Amino acid sequence: MRLILPLPGNETLARQLAEAGEWELGRLETRRFPDGECYVRILSDVAERPVDLVCTLARPDDNFLRLAFAADAARALGASQVTLIAPYLSYMRQDRRFQPGEAVTSITFSRLVSSTFDRLVTVDPHLHRYPALSALYTIPADTLHAAPLLANWIAAEVDQPLVIGPDEESEQWVSAIARRIGAPYAVLRKIRHGDRNVDVELPDLSQWKARCPVLVDDIASSGHTLIEAARKLQLQGFRRPVCAVVHGVFAEDSYRRLKPFTDRIVSSDSIPHESNAIRLAPLIAAAIASAEMAREDFVRHRRPHEPTAETKQAEMQSIPASVAPPWTSGVE
Ligand code: R5P
């Protein structure tokens, strides 16, 4: 049976996945040594079974090493397949060298993940300049889409919505959502001058003024994109918008700064946050279950298990006492 193993902070999603698929929920112990290095111990039996490590990758610099240690431990202890369930996949936005000399971190990060796991399951990765994860990742990667879930939420909670994407890149999901719920949509034009400095231009949306604007984006990080879009909507006489995002990264105090410009902010639970209103567990569990059927024999990093204490002991006893191990063979 599959083992769903959460990294710290991912327990709720892991429990929901385990319940949805009737899989076992595993336990992992982790802490920091006094020098800041991390300690990882898997407390569940992983031998001969597929193991799903659940770890969203917001703030990856703090979390990724611990995750890699857990993946290696699972494999060394005999897991038949080690999958990363990362509903938010980080380091997707630095996808080219915008300034001379910059590191293209999406490439390096994909190499680290691909060499650590057999398979990746994620939700709406920021694929703006890459056509698909397979252009970056060398392991099978399931890309799931939260747009239908966002659409359902909007249809249930917002009367007379006007679905709005804050930049041209958002047209893909904004148009899909609008189609699904039979609402009009508009796409704004964004010019980014820096990490915390964006301009948003609005077309003339006056014909939709009676509707409730719903800003939909894949990521809210510094919040500046949504703040600028909401400000410009107000200047055109719209009421305060509802904001619906897949990944609520909400860096620093961005959530507090964004709130006054909006009527309501909701996100999927790809990153635990007080704005979470859209559950991803059913979507992810269904993907795991179908992939389980399709590729249950697929293992990319199969290695011999680590010998247990008993096998080591037995091996030692099988060496005749008169045969000195090679490393004690004396001076050449
Ligand atoms: C950009 O292409 C994305 O779709 C988001 O609009 C962007 O990542 C949001 O970032 P921030 O909240 O920092 O403006």
- Spans of all domains in the chain: 3-145+281-294, 147-278
Kindly give the interhelix angle for 105-116 and 60-76, rounded to the nearest 10 degrees.
20
Distance CA 38, CA 178 (A): 46
- The predicted pLDDT at position 193 comes to 87
Query: Which of 190, 209, 232, 312 is the catalytic position?
Result: 190
Q: What is the pLDDT of residues 150-168, one digit of tens each?
A: 999 999 999 999 999 999 8
- The predicted pLDDT at position 323 comes to 33
> For the stretch 135-158, what's the b/e string if a residue is b when 16 or more beta carbons lie within 10 angstroms of its beta carbon?
ebbebbbbbbebbebbbebbeeeb
Indicate the pLDDT class of residue 146, thresholds 50, 70 and 90.
very high
Indicate the pLDDT class of residue 196, thresholds 50, 70 and 90.
confident
Residue 293 pLDDT > 60: no
Q: What is the mean pLDDT of residues 290-303?
A: 55
Q: What is the mean pLDDT of residues 265-270?
A: 98
The architecture CATH gives domain 3-145+281-294: 3-Layer(aba) Sandwich (3.40)
Q: Do 147-278 and 3-145+281-294 fall under one CATH topology?
A: yes
Probe ligand 1: pick from 89, 218, 271, max atoms within 8 Å of CB?
218
Torsion, Cα of 178, 179, 181, 186 (10° steps): 20
Q: What is the pLDDT of residues 299-319, one digit of tens each?
A: 554 444 455 555 445 443 433
Phi-psi region of 259 (alpha: psi -120 to 50; beta: other; left: phi over 0): alpha
- The predicted pLDDT at position 219 comes to 96
Q: 171-180, 254-263, 321-330: lowest mean pLDDT where?
A: 321-330
- The predicted pLDDT at position 60 comes to 96
Burial class (CB in 10 A: 0-12, 13-18, 19+), 57: buried
Residue 296 pLDDT > 90: no
Distance CA 79, CA 76 (A): 7
Distance CA 162, CA 151 (A): 12
Q: What is the mean pLDDT of residues 262-285?
A: 98
Average pLDDT, the chain: 89
Distance CA 181, CA 11 (A): 33
Distance from residue 124's CA to the centre of ligand 1 (Å): 13
- The predicted pLDDT at position 240 comes to 97
Please indicate whether residue 312 is annotated as part of the active site. Answer: no
Token code pair at residue 87 = 């509903």
| Domain 147-278 classification at class level | alpha beta
Distance CA 277, CA 244 (A): 9
Q: What is the pLDDT of residues 112-143, one digit of tens each?
A: 999 999 999 999 999 988 999 999 999 999 99
Q: What is the pLDDT of residues 3-25, one digit of tens each?
A: 999 999 999 999 999 999 999 99
Which amino acids bring their CB within 6 angstroms of ligand 1?
128, 166-167, 169-170, 198, 217-225
Sign of CA dihedral 161, 125, 169, 105: positive
**Contact residues for 34 (Cβ-Cβ < 8 A; gap 6+):** none
- The predicted pLDDT at position 192 comes to 86
